[in-house]
Amino acid sequence: MDISRLSHQGRSLQIFLLSLLLLWLLCGRASHAQKDVLFMHGILSGAQEFDYFTTLINEYRPGTRVHAIKMYEELSSIIPLWDQVAAIRDEFGPILTNTSSDGVILVSYSQGGIISRGILQSMKHNVETFISLSGPLAGQFGDTYYLRFFFPLFLKDNIYRLFYSDIGQDTSVGNYWNDPHHQDLYRNFSNYLGLLNNETFFVNPQSKEFRQNFLRVKNVVLIGGPDDGVITPWQSSHFGVYDANETVQPMEKQKFYQTDAFGLKTLNEAGRLHIHTVPNITHTHWHKTEMIFEKFVLPWL
């Protein structure tokens, strides 16, 4: 046996294995680099809300294409949601429908969550994962700073008079106002949340399409918690709704769930719905907390 020949072979093998490892690492990196993350901001705010998470993505998953949606910021966040959804679809359609991307991930905060529902239900997108940070996904019924900001003359108990009218539906908040004491009016007027949930008296001719579109998402991740302080009830972030006694009834008790009106039940039964309750996070901190990013966003990137 020629020892030097053997060690030479050994070295070749070593170099070969090292090259393989390097190639694997490079490909691994490259595959991460081909994902797209879209961020949709909340009411009375803008794309900069996601500056912190963008920094974290650049750090943990360098090369990921991050797109913070810089539309309908600040005061224009009150514009009716179908208008916002249509314009966002136009602007970000090529990314939302990209079949070559290694994964399109839509991350939304607060009102951005209900806007995202509109996008995901109304187009043939290619979004793989939808992550909602404290979104009023099943509506809002509460006196919060933004209600007082836009509608200082109203209280939550009487604002249905405005919101459940054609004029009221010309505001984003009216579009997802869900007053448990005036459900007949809600079903007669809510042309956004009511349509998304297929619970209006008037018929949505596209309800089946809306459902098929929503089911294109592989995984839906819902994050919310009892110390939120703005989304009311906070369980709306998990599709919970107040009943007529203002007791929160969970998603499973809702007709839209039981009839699988937009695919929520299908997603849940297939293990594609991931619901997380996180205490001690106030509304403005969901997107500013590293733990939230690490536990609930990073695993999907």
Ligand X SMILES: *[C@@H]1O[C@H](CO)[C@@H](O)[C@H](O)[C@H]1NC(C)=O
Q: Note the residues at the interface with ligand X (CB under 6 A).
A: 34, 94-95, 98, 100-101, 184-185, 188, 198, 203, 207-208, 211, 243-245, 259, 261, 280
List 179, 228, 236, 237, catalytic entry: 228
Structure tokens at 177: 């106002």
Compute the distance between CA of residue 142 and CA of residue 104 in angstroms, rounded to an integer: 33
In the complex, the smallest distance separating the C-beta of residue 201 from ligand X, rounded to whole angstroms, is 7
The set of residues, in sequence order, having a beta carbon less than 8 Å from that of 235 and lying 6+ positions away, is 224, 241, 248, 250
| Nearer CB in complex with ligand X: 4/245 | 245
The neighbouring-strand residues paired with 275 are: 222
List 110, 172, 190, 237, catalytic entry: 110
In the complex, the smallest distance separating the C-beta of residue 112 from ligand X, rounded to whole angstroms, is 20
**For residue 149, how many other CB atoms are within 10 A of its CB?**
12
| Nearer CB in complex with ligand X: 10/226 | 226
In the complex, the smallest distance separating the C-beta of residue 280 from ligand X, rounded to whole angstroms, is 4
| Nearer CB in complex with ligand X: 74/252 | 252
Instruction: Classify residue 293 by its DSSP letter.
Output: I
Q: Is 67 a catalytic residue?
A: no
In the complex, the smallest distance separating the C-beta of residue 166 from ligand X, rounded to whole angstroms, is 8
| Nearer CB in complex with ligand X: 34/284 | 34
Residue 105 contacts residue 128 (beta carbons within 8 Å): yes
Compute the distance between CA of residue 33 and CA of residue 27 in angstroms, rounded to an integer: 10
Q: Is 110 a catalytic residue?
A: yes
In the complex, the smallest distance separating the C-beta of residue 3 from ligand X, rounded to whole angstroms, is 49
| Closest-CA residue to 88 (of 104, 102, 67) | 67
Compute the distance between CA of residue 248 and CA of residue 232 in angstroms, rounded to an integer: 10
Is residue 16 within a helix (H) or strand (E), and if so which, with residue range?
helix 3-33
Compute the distance between CA of residue 267 and CA of residue 254 in angstroms, rounded to an integer: 15
| Nearer CB in complex with ligand X: 37/222 | 37
Q: Is 228 a catalytic residue?
A: yes
Q: Which residues are designated catalytic?
A: 110, 228, 283
